[in-house]
Amino acid sequence: MWLEPWLNAALAGIFGLLIGSFLNVVIYRLPQILERQWAAEAADYAADLGAAPAGAAPAPEVFNLWMPRSRCQSCGHQLRAHENIPVLSYLFLRGRCSSCTAPISARYPVIELVTAALFFLCVQRWGATPTGLAWCGFSAVLVTLAMIDWDTTLLPDNLTLPLLWAGLLASALQWIQAPLFDSVIGAAAGYLSLWTVYWGFKLATGKEGMGFGDFKLYAALGAWFGWQALVPLILLASVVGAVVGIAMKFSSGLREGGYIPFGPFLVGAGLIAMVFGPQAVLNTILGALGL
């Protein structure tokens, strides 16, 4: 039945809205969860060394991806069920908290809509199959990584490493196009290439040009697309990153230190390669350069 692929894609899009709502929680809370873990580990280490009394700090409140319930960041108003409906609640509330009328960032519904669109595209292209679901998961993790890196310049191992292993597993199970050999070589070459650039830049300038999370994200992209995609991906990410960086510099939009994280541009290159294919990306870049 010709309607079935579109129906499956529409259902995937609705599911993507729900996942996008959860991604908003992950984007906001995961960096804080990691910071609390690091602080607790540092306190325990200091106590072991006798630099601080053990157990002096009060027990922290439960804070994870599930608890406490979502609330307004301005007044602390706990969101009710009808205020947590993806996109619709934002429109119904006209972008403001129902309690204090503080503005709610439009980024929340945008992330929900982007995730829904990516899920729709994945299932419309590959169907409700392991391949389609694998690329849905790939899209969700990449959206999360892009936003966390943009906010905090952090690419958590909690996301990059599972993404890497998922790519290798999907390749081994033949859910994605990249053969396992190409996937393994892509992961290794992706990591080592940026690792080499990092150390070359640091030895030449004494500064760190990127973080280790970028190596792991690039390795994960190599696992999902194979080693042949690494050059198109890095070219696209670099070109777009340079254009955005120049635009932000002239508009005085650069943050303190004059840098922008590279992860979101790797993510953008990965999503474009997923939709159009790595070879099409390379052909477009070469055509733009007149080669």
Domains of the chain: total: 2
Residue bearing the bigger pLDDT, 33 or 248: 33
Buried/exposed 31-41: b ≥16 CB within 10 Å, e otherwise: beebeeeeeee
Q: Give per-residue pLDDT as tens, 189-225.
A: 999 999 999 899 888 888 877 889 999 999 999 999 9
Residue 113 covered by a domain: no
Residue 215 covered by a domain: yes
> Are 185 and 241 a contacting pair, CB within 8 Å?
no
Enclosing domain of residue 3: 1-106
Q: Would you say residue 141 has pLDDT above 90?
A: yes
Q: Is 59 exposed, middle or buried (0-12, 13-18, 19+ CB in 10 A)?
A: exposed
Tell whether 159 and 101 lie within a shared domain.
no
pTM of the complete model:
0.90
Tell whether 98 and 138 lie within a shared domain.
no
Q: Give per-residue pLDDT as tens, 81-126.
A: 888 889 999 999 888 888 888 898 999 999 999 999 999 999 999 9
